[in-house]
Amino acid sequence: MGCVQSFRELCDRPKNTNVRISLPAVCIVWETAMIILFGIFIRYDDDSDSHWIDDRKETNKSDMENEFYFRYPSFQDVHVMIFVGFGFLMTFLKRYSFGAVGFNFLIAAFGLQWALLMQGWFGSLGPDGKIKIGVESLINADFCVASCLIAYGAVLGKASAVQLMVMTLFGITLFAVEEHIIIHIIHAKDAGGSMVIHTFGAYYGLSISWMLYRPNLNQSSRLQCSVYQSDVFAMIGTLFLWMFWPSFNSAITDHGDGQHRAVINTYLALASTVLTTVAVSSLFQKHGKLDMVHIQNSTLAGGVAVGTAAEFMLMPYGSLIVGFCCGIISTLGYIYLTPFMEKYLKIQDTCGIHNLHAMPGVIGGIVGAITAAAATESVYGVEGLKETFDFVGDMSPTKQGGYQAAALCVAICFGVGGGILVGCVLRLPIWGDPADDSCFDDEHYWELPQDEESTQPVLQYNNHMRNKDVIETNFNMQQT
Amino acid sequence: MGCVQSFRELCDRPKNTNVRISLPAVCIVWETAMIILFGIFIRYDDDSDSHWIDDRKETNKSDMENEFYFRYPSFQDVHVMIFVGFGFLMTFLKRYSFGAVGFNFLIAAFGLQWALLMQGWFGSLGPDGKIKIGVESLINADFCVASCLIAYGAVLGKASAVQLMVMTLFGITLFAVEEHIIIHIIHAKDAGGSMVIHTFGAYYGLSISWMLYRPNLNQSSRLQCSVYQSDVFAMIGTLFLWMFWPSFNSAITDHGDGQHRAVINTYLALASTVLTTVAVSSLFQKHGKLDMVHIQNSTLAGGVAVGTAAEFMLMPYGSLIVGFCCGIISTLGYIYLTPFMEKYLKIQDTCGIHNLHAMPGVIGGIVGAITAAAATESVYGVEGLKETFDFVGDMSPTKQGGYQAAALCVAICFGVGGGILVGCVLRLPIWGDPADDSCFDDEHYWELPQDEESTQPVLQYNNHMRNKDVIETNFNMQQT
Amino acid sequence: MGCVQSFRELCDRPKNTNVRISLPAVCIVWETAMIILFGIFIRYDDDSDSHWIDDRKETNKSDMENEFYFRYPSFQDVHVMIFVGFGFLMTFLKRYSFGAVGFNFLIAAFGLQWALLMQGWFGSLGPDGKIKIGVESLINADFCVASCLIAYGAVLGKASAVQLMVMTLFGITLFAVEEHIIIHIIHAKDAGGSMVIHTFGAYYGLSISWMLYRPNLNQSSRLQCSVYQSDVFAMIGTLFLWMFWPSFNSAITDHGDGQHRAVINTYLALASTVLTTVAVSSLFQKHGKLDMVHIQNSTLAGGVAVGTAAEFMLMPYGSLIVGFCCGIISTLGYIYLTPFMEKYLKIQDTCGIHNLHAMPGVIGGIVGAITAAAATESVYGVEGLKETFDFVGDMSPTKQGGYQAAALCVAICFGVGGGILVGCVLRLPIWGDPADDSCFDDEHYWELPQDEESTQPVLQYNNHMRNKDVIETNFNMQQT
């Protein structure tokens, strides 16, 4: 820890938020690299190549059996979650809406390209050295990006665009390795990514935030809060995440009953979470008033926690129970844990991703392990059991349960370890991040509209001017 | 009426908006009940159970023929209408956006769980005493919830969350009975729910609003209006309802041509409504200016009115005519009927659901009855006629028309009768509803952001301070 | 030019924005005409007619093979782009959000009806004189409308609703002819409409804007800018356009691999554009700050430019290259070209459609021509080549490339020529358009909420009033 401390001191130099060279350079260089790497490695897969017509005729398939039709509606929903869901969820800060939506847009657009490459190299590199992509690859790329956007939630308002790009580059890389280990080596199942996406992403972000601890962040506290309108904007994000979460958890599950069941489980878990979130939020406030922070975030915890087990025979009441617990735990986390972590653990978590992704993700991993271990042929059917868990050889539900638990540990280790390493890199004083008193402010990275008094002065011109002197005084004061 | 009057006086006690005990209690108790009842009754249906693989192999089906793929895209669209559509449509009030979106979220999430149970008990309880749910059940649950959200529109800003939960519990219960009578006993067709959902929901809400009449509501009139931004937020709701209405009306119609035709009819009816709404709105305002209230609401009337007949051979021009009339009637309703109802009938209808749901719903029922009665084999084809109306035995189009008309009466009776009964319950002075001078104000149920001057003082710090004294004076004044 | 000049002078009369007669008249008359024409011409197509059941049984088809299931998810995404995407993209102006969303809604709803007729007459009029419509017709109608909404972007804030209706009527008419020539006579391919929709629409709008040049528009310059909230609203539009663009470009391509490939190409092109847009935006501003105008608009250029070639074997890296170039060109357009065009060419382009649609559309046409000309059987497969390009007779890739180039010229000619003609009509002083000092202001066409100080005075009542005199003074000042 001494080393970390001295490294911290080394990095504490005066801040300069000018990214006029670094941001364009990073964008252009990385995009050029993408073009070259895509040229070398990436091709259409069988279902999206124009040779598909030969396939289809040979196998006497219907057009409808192109993978496209099984996945495309879910893909679009996931896409909305990534860009509108995550983007608008983070607009709740009063002066950081441009940064929330805009930087989310930037890192997601970059991340998905890098994810196609990384996931391809680890997952689907063909004998000809080419990666074949189709609609499922696009979904997986979006999933991969989701983990980095979760991590962004922890450092929201405290990082520059360049830092976020670096964080995304490493995050996607780590994700691809972690996912490969969990899915292809350990053979754990994680359809909705409770472990792979949420647990990893949240601990990655929290570790980075811990490495980038800002002791004087209270200097920005006047901006680290919401206004009425920004809270309504954030609800756009919340609702699109909430509504499309069933698509998220079912997007890459088995055709037919697998996708169908994942949707039902997620739908129910989310509905249940809303009620317990409201209950706890109301119980812990004076006069029983609700807190928008809880409604915006904790209502989503059920979707996270049901991710791993969504395709299993969790049973409708099981989904409700998972949602019930997560609503309570997540809301209590916002009330007690977030302030505790900031004060004692030196982890500043702007969006409270520990409550929305980390804890529910871990719960999801545990629920998945238990559900897998408890699977029986009487519940699943002989064929159904094999199909659902892709059992080969002498695998059994008990073993699968153990593997699921192992996968959870892998996700946490990658998150924490990766976050600390990347945090070190991000402490270098070259990334253009803001000073402690300039956080949560779009001012430093965006050309803001000049006229900030909204529409008022303009309208005052049009009003009757009964007392011209007073008006002028008032106007001078507002303009000064 | 005397009895109602004395009951009213009994209930007029000082108001206390503290729901710190009642709201958490209701949420936790009801969610616990849901878990127990789901445990006893609810299971996956054949298409979402892991045994489906056996079915599929036996019947030589393709994966694609899982019910999931026929309904899921429509389901997601309906889901968006329920949560974003209805939620944001009601954000138009200047200080009730949290309540609009947040309470909508709460009661929809609770309602859909209770709807799955109620609709299951009445509709699909198997011989083993289990309710089997699949994607169509989820759509039906969302539909059921829609009727309660419509009712919420009438009491928007005047009810507490606890009241809304009670209203939803009873509303869903009544809906399930009414729907059972209309669909399974009378055998009326109502794909888009003009009668079942809209007419019932609207009269249920209006009756409750009549029972909860507030003579001194004008004390809140300063808040019963919109501001510029809140009107733009409401347009998000309007547009998502408008765009996805074709999915709403086609979500549970017959596979193939049934869904296809319902989409076309709804699309056209809605397009037509927009033009007549604009025409009437402009005609009845000074200088021909448009009124946002009409654009936000009346443009949707065509979708409501074409609901029952959407799957029939209404013909494209028929859909246009339905939309044409509804745009005019609904807009005139906002101009003349809403003030009349408030003044003379003592019905305070915050969102004007009488114009958006009640009248168009009744028109939809009538159009459905006429279209059904006029159906002929030459238009539908011999097979097509049977398929479209599910005729069994000696049913004929004329009879079907009569049954459709009967169904409309059932919907109205259930709405009015149920609303009066539930209104009585809601008058009890235990639900934490606001006093007449505190309506339409998020203040009483939500922790509001502290800094209400939005971003102005902060920005003034950054400006040149040419005249420090004046600035300070101004700042003191704003802060005081 | 002399003639144009004298016509301009003729038209410069005092403005009257009262549309109380003209707007209702236009709406009612045109909607009535639609009903009559739909009655005469429009019927359901085979897949949406109730006779489909006979077809299906005869050909032993599955329900799933109804065209509906191939196209409906894409249709809904396109629908969202038209109403929410285009509508909210234009809300960026501080006082024109009602006009942006509301007029967009009006002209789209009218335009799609007229488009069904026009496209039917030119494309699918049967031997019985009837136009058969299905889900693909609805998509095509939405596409047709898109071109007029693009044109609206050029005159945003400077035209009355009546003018926009006239512009849409002629625009749709021209579009249908242009599309017929390009698709059915020249046999060019243009799945995503780079030429047919974007190039035509943009030049149509720019020509109209040139004809309606306002020399004193600077009198409205205080309103021709954004505020913080309006920029966030505009991002809703941007993101829904960006996310659903893959559906736009794939909505009417070939079943199976055609749709699949179009999605992949568009997804990649758009991702690439975001990075180069950010790079150029940051590079050309002081301190490297980003400009919201670029993020809102230029990030979409890649989707436009990949439209024509989306269904070809453009290859993933090819899509990235197209996106890379368009992000740069479009952003540079906003920085240099828009001011240049306004100053020297007298083209006032409110939304910068020249940078977002015209240039990328032309690039898209050129990319399409080159890609078509370079197509080989080794890349596409023998069958695949025929299938992708619908080759009949002695068509060859080289010829196809030439035809594509010809199509681009047709689109430009129709845009410029049509725009000039329609611009002449729109200069007549009878349409109720605003004076130069009243542009960009909802005031003239919308009933605006009374209380424009948002929520502030109300909240001040509730605060502690330590110094009553100061408060009163302040309040008087704000109210005066």
pLDDT tens digits for range A77-89: 999 999 999 999 9
Best of C40, C50, C98, C456 to substitute, by most chain B Cβ atoms within 10 angstroms, is C50
Predicted structure pTM score: 0.92
Give B 258-277 residues with CB within 8 A of chain C: 259-261, 263-264, 267-268, 270-272, 274-276
Residues of C in Cβ contact (< 8 Å) with B69: 64, 69
Closest chain C residue to the Cα of A454, Cα to Cα: C227
Alpha-helical segments (H) within B180-227: 200-211
Say if C130 is an interface residue toward chain A (CB within 8 Å). Answer: no
Question: Which of A18, A101, A463 has its CB closest to that of C288?
Answer: A18
Nearest CA of chain C to the CA of A164: how many Å?
A: 13
Residues of C in Cβ contact (< 8 Å) with A35: 272, 317, 320-321, 324
Q: Supply the pLDDT for residue C451.
A: 54
Residues of B in Cβ contact (< 8 Å) with A313: 44, 49-50
The confidence band for B469, taking pLDDT boundaries of 50, 70 and 90, is very low
Between chains, do B295 and C105 touch, taking CB under 8 Å as contact?
Answer: yes
Give A 47-86 residues with CB within 8 A of chain B: 62, 64-65, 69-70, 73-74, 77
Q: What is the rounded (10 degree) CA torsion for A133, A135, A136, A138?
A: 80
- pLDDT surpassing 70 at residue B476: no
Give the bridge partners for A184, in sequence order.
Answer: none
- pLDDT surpassing 80 at residue B339: yes
Query: Going by CATH, does the domain composed of A23-427 fall within 2.40.50.100?
Result: no
Q: Is B39 exposed, middle or buried (0-12, 13-18, 19+ CB in 10 A)?
A: middle
**Can you tell me the mean pLDDT for C221-229?**
91
**Can you tell me the mean pLDDT for B331-360?**
94
Give the bridge partners for C156, in sequence order.
Answer: none
Give B 429-448 residues with CB within 8 A of chain A: 432, 444-448
The confidence band for B4, taking pLDDT boundaries of 50, 70 and 90, is low
Please give chain A's pLDDT, 480 residues, in tens.
455 565 555 555 567 888 889 999 999 999 999 999 999 999 999 999 998 888 888 888 888 889 999 999 999 999 999 999 999 999 999 999 999 999 999 999 999 999 999 999 998 788 899 999 999 999 999 999 999 999 999 999 999 999 999 999 999 999 999 999 999 999 999 999 999 999 999 999 999 999 999 999 988 888 999 999 999 999 999 999 999 999 999 999 999 999 999 999 999 999 999 999 999 999 998 889 999 999 999 999 999 999 999 999 999 999 999 999 999 999 999 999 999 999 999 999 999 999 999 999 999 999 999 999 999 999 999 889 988 998 887 888 999 999 999 999 999 999 999 999 999 999 988 888 898 888 999 999 999 987 544 444 333 333 333 333 333 334 444 443
- The tens digit of pLDDT for each residue in B209-249 reads 999 999 999 888 889 999 999 999 999 999 999 999 999 99
Q: Which tokens belong to B21?
A: 């005990």
CA distance C198 to A454: 33
A49-68: b or e for each residue (b if 16 or more CB lie within 10 Å)? bbbbbbbbeeeeebbbbbbb
Cβ C47 vs Cβ B257: under 8 Å: yes
Three-class SS of residue A132? strand
Cβ C397 vs Cβ C405: under 8 Å: no
Q: Supply the pLDDT for residue C429.
A: 84
Which regions of C214-317 does DSSP assign to beta strands (E)?
Answer: 290-291
Question: What percent of chain C shows pLDDT beyond 70?
Answer: 91
Q: Supply the pLDDT for residue B432.
A: 85
- pLDDT surpassing 90 at residue C16: no
Question: Which of C247, C260, C292 has its CB closest to that of A134?
Answer: C260
Cβ A184 vs Cβ A117: under 8 Å: no
Average model confidence (pLDDT) for chain C? 89
**Torsion A204-A210-A212-A216 (CA) sign:** positive
Best of B32, B53, B58, B60 to substitute, by most chain A Cβ atoms within 10 angstroms, is B53
- pLDDT surpassing 50 at residue B470: no
Q: What share of chain B is helix, strand, coil (3-state, %, to 5)?
A: 75, 0, 25
The confidence band for B462, taking pLDDT boundaries of 50, 70 and 90, is very low
Q: Supply the pLDDT for residue C19.
A: 86
Question: Could you state, in order of their start, the residue ranges of all structural domains in chain C?
Answer: 23-427
CA distance C39 to B347: 40
Give B 390-409 residues with CB within 8 A of chain A: none
CA distance B249 to B259: 8
Residues of C in Cβ contact (< 8 Å) with A102: 235, 290, 292, 295
A80-97: b or e for each residue (b if 16 or more CB lie within 10 Å)? bbbbbbbbbbbbbbbbbb
Q: Supply the pLDDT for residue A3.
A: 59
Average model confidence (pLDDT) for chain B? 89
**Can you tell me the mean pLDDT for B333-342?**
94
Give B 443-472 residues with CB within 8 A of chain A: 444-452, 454-456, 458-460, 462-467, 470-471
Residues of A in Cβ contact (< 8 Å) with B19: 282, 287-288
Q: Which amino acid is at A447?
A: E
**Can you tell me the mean pLDDT for B426-455?**
82
Name subunits touching A (3+ CB pairs < 8 A).
Answer: B, C
- The tens digit of pLDDT for each residue in B374-416 reads 999 999 998 899 889 988 878 889 999 999 999 999 999 999 9
- The tens digit of pLDDT for each residue in B155-189 reads 999 999 999 999 999 999 999 999 999 999 999 99
Between chains, do B288 and C109 touch, taking CB under 8 Å as contact?
Answer: no
- The tens digit of pLDDT for each residue in C417-471 reads 999 999 999 998 888 889 888 899 999 999 998 754 444 433 333 333 333 333 3
Best of A274, A277, A326 to substitute, by most chain B Cβ atoms within 10 angstroms, is A274
Q: Supply the pLDDT for residue B456.
A: 40
CA distance B161 to B17: 10
Nearest CA of chain C to the CA of B130: how many Å?
A: 29
Nearest CA of chain A to the CA of C369: how many Å?
A: 18
Give the bridge partners for B432, in sequence order.
Answer: none
Ramachandran region, residue B393 (left: φ > 0; alpha: ψ -120 to 50; beta: rest): left
Question: Which of C225, C279, C455 has its CB closest to that of A23?
Answer: C279
Say if A231 is an interface residue toward chain C (CB within 8 Å). Answer: no
